[in-house]
């Protein structure tokens, strides 16, 4: 891969070379602590690439590939070949960029992937996997990753985070993050069983909302004892602005009886729980990440066969800014506003969230997320934060991925960042130190946040 890839000027190349080897602090991803602990050598490039990557699955479906070659019983070689056929024509899609960057970074392959080159690359990549015994730990080390925040449900046991402490020669910090989605989605058919599991883990008999919060407090303590620094909510709903204690309690009690909550009662429950979670995050010095404007599991047939995260989520509707500011203001007024990162899957909200972030202490617009983490989306977030907020305070890139090869996305981000910053300097729009800004964005800001480092 050429040094100038995605870099339009010599000054951009120079800046990129100054920042490309910075360490990575991956503060939101979906890597498996179990897979890291077991550290098994991957069998082949097909398994490594297509085993659970719904980004690739969606692209293959869009190209008309049969589901058997995506999530079905076809062998890895045939799945890989099908993906190669698709990716060679996916001009403009970030998967095209990422796939080529991953081949170059981890396999030293700079041949463009296509149906014609698939067999050659299959052989070359698999030889590297076997010769170097590529495994999760080795890929993490190759990527210079210093910190990983996994995504863990409130009722997860965290047993593999415990076991990771005993993995010799592995210095990367792998810490859990509290994911509250299943706790908040009270209209799910299995919600009663979920609460039963939470009750058994915490020894709290949960029959009302107060007892639910007591159980969650116990889980906060448990996660904090495992070095948790982040919490996360990514449901397709957002609470209205009205506080209604009785409606919130009624929604939860109905859920325990298997009765669906009304829309207004559910909104009251969400607001109550969002405020409670925010307060506890503040108390425990945990960063709260809110992933907004997403629709989940839109294809019922796929969901019933494959479950969640199968590639049938999409961009959701715009959330009213008044609802977001009302929630943040309520947290702030009660001294319960933690450090909050706002992400949106709907790009039309980017400028609004950047402006909202500037209204409250310790609220930031997050990185371009999911369907927005392409070249244009990343540039838009960087430019919007610079124009509306404070670019040197940006927390930079995260992987949001299940793939151990996805750290190439940080290189992707750094190339885009270098091109923008160098462009501002070259046009004389900015005369400050672009290297220092890039260093802060690439890793220093998030490192300081994670480890509570005040000095800059």
Is residue 405 within 8 Å of 106, Cβ to Cβ? yes
From the CA atom positions of the chain, what is the Rg in Å? 22
Count Cβ atoms below 10 Å from residue 374 Cβ, excluding itself: 19
Which pLDDT score, from 0 to 100, does residue 1 have? 64
Residue 251 lies in a domain: no
Band (455; pLDDT cuts 50, 70, 90): very low
Band (31; pLDDT cuts 50, 70, 90): very high
Which pLDDT score, from 0 to 100, does residue 52 have? 87
Q: Is the pLDDT of residue 453 over 80?
A: no
Band (335; pLDDT cuts 50, 70, 90): confident
Cα–Cα distance measured from residue 219 to residue 203, given in angstroms and rounded to the nearest whole number = 11
Which pLDDT score, from 0 to 100, does residue 288 have? 98
Count Cβ atoms below 10 Å from residue 451 Cβ, excluding itself: 11
Residue 350 lies in a domain: no
Q: Is the pLDDT of residue 278 over 70?
A: yes
Is residue 139 within 8 Å of 405, Cβ to Cβ? yes
pLDDT in tens, 429-443: 999 999 999 999 999
pLDDT in tens, 166-219: 888 899 999 999 999 999 999 999 999 999 999 999 999 999 999 999 999 999
What domain range includes position 110?
42-134
Nearest to 180, CA basis, from 304, 312, 306, 276: 276
Residue 120 lies in a domain: yes
Alpha helices in 72-157 (DSSP H): 76-87, 94-107, 118-132, 136-142
Lookup: tokens for 246: 């009785």
Q: What CATH number is attached to the domain comprising 115?
A: 1.10.2020.10
Residue 262 lies in a domain: no
Residue 365 lies in a domain: no
User: Angle 397-336-370 (CA atoms, 0-180°, nearest 5)?
Assistant: 25
Residue 304 lies in a domain: no
Q: Where are the beta strands (DSSP E) in 241-347?
A: 287-292, 294-295, 314-315, 340-344
Is residue 324 within 8 Å of 289, Cβ to Cβ? no
The chain-wide mean pLDDT, for the chain, equals 96
- Across 338-371, b (16+ Cβ under 10 Å) vs e yields bbbbbbbbbbebbbbbbebbeeeeebbbbbbbbb
User: Angle 377-299-30 (CA atoms, 0-180°, nearest 5)?
Assistant: 50
Residue 122 lies in a domain: yes
pLDDT in tens, 126-169: 999 999 999 999 999 999 999 999 999 999 999 999 999 888 88
Residue 160 lies in a domain: no
Cα–Cα distance measured from residue 79 to residue 47, given in angstroms and rounded to the nearest whole number = 9
Which pLDDT score, from 0 to 100, does residue 334 have? 81
Q: What is the pTM of this model?
A: 0.96
Q: List residues bridging with 233 in a β-sheet.
A: 290
Number of domains in the chain: 1
């Amino acid at each position: 891969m050429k040094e100038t890839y995605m870099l339009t000027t010599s000054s951009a190349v120079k800046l990129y070379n100054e920042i490309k080897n910075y360490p990575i602090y991956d503060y939101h991803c979906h890597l498996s602590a179990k897979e890291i602990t077991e550290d098994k050598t991957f069998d082949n490039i097909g398994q490594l690439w297509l085993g659970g990557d719904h980004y690739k699955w969606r692209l293959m479906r869009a190209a008309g590939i049969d589901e058997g070659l995506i999530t079905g019983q076809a062998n890895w070689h045939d799945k890989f070949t099908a993906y190669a056929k698709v990716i060679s024509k996916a001009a403009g899609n970030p998967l095209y960029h990422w796939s080529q960057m991953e081949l170059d970074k981890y396999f030293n392959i700079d041949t463009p992937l296509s149906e014609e080159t698939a067999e050659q690359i299959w052989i070359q990549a698999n030889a590297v996997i076997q010769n170097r015994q590529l495994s999760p730990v080795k890929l993490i080390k190759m990527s210079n990753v210093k910190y990983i925040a996994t995504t863990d449900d409130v009722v997860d046991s965290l047993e593999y985070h415990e076991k990771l402490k005993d993995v010799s020669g592995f210095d990367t910090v792998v810490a859990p993050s509290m994911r509250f989605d299943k706790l908040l989605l009270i209209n799910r058919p299995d919600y009663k069983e979920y609460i039963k599991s939470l009750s058994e883990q915490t020894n709290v008999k949960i029959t009302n909302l107060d007892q639910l919060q007591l159980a969650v407090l116990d889980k906060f303590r448990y996660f904090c004892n495992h070095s948790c620094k982040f919490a996360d909510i990514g449901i397709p709903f957002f609470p209205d602005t009205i506080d209604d204690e009785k409606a919130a309690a009624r929604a939860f009690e109905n859920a325990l009886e298997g009765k669906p909550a009304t829309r207004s009662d559910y909104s009251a429950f969400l607001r109550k729980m969002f405020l409670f979670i925010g307060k506890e995050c503040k108390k425990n010095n945990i960063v709260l990440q809110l992933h907004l404007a997403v629709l989940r599991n839109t294809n019922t047939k796929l969901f019933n066969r494959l479950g969640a995260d199968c590639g049938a989520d999409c961009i959701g509707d715009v959330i009213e800014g008044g609802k977001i500011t009302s929630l943040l203001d309520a947290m702030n007024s009660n001294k319960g506003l933690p450090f909050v990162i706002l992400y949106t899957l709907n790009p039309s909200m980017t400028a609004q969230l950047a402006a909202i972030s500037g209204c409250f202490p310790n609220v930031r617009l997050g990185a371009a997320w999911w369907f927005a983490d392409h070249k244009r989306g990343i540039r838009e977030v960087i430019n919007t934060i610079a124009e509306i907020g404070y670019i040197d305070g940006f927390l930079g890139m995260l992987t949001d991925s299940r793939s151990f090869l996805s750290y190439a996305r940080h290189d992707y981000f750094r190339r885009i960042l270098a091109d923008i910053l160098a462009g501002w300097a070259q046009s004389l729009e900015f005369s400050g130190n672009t290297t220092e800004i890039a260093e802060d964005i690439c890793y220093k800001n998030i490192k300081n946040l994670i480890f509570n480092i005040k000095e800059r």
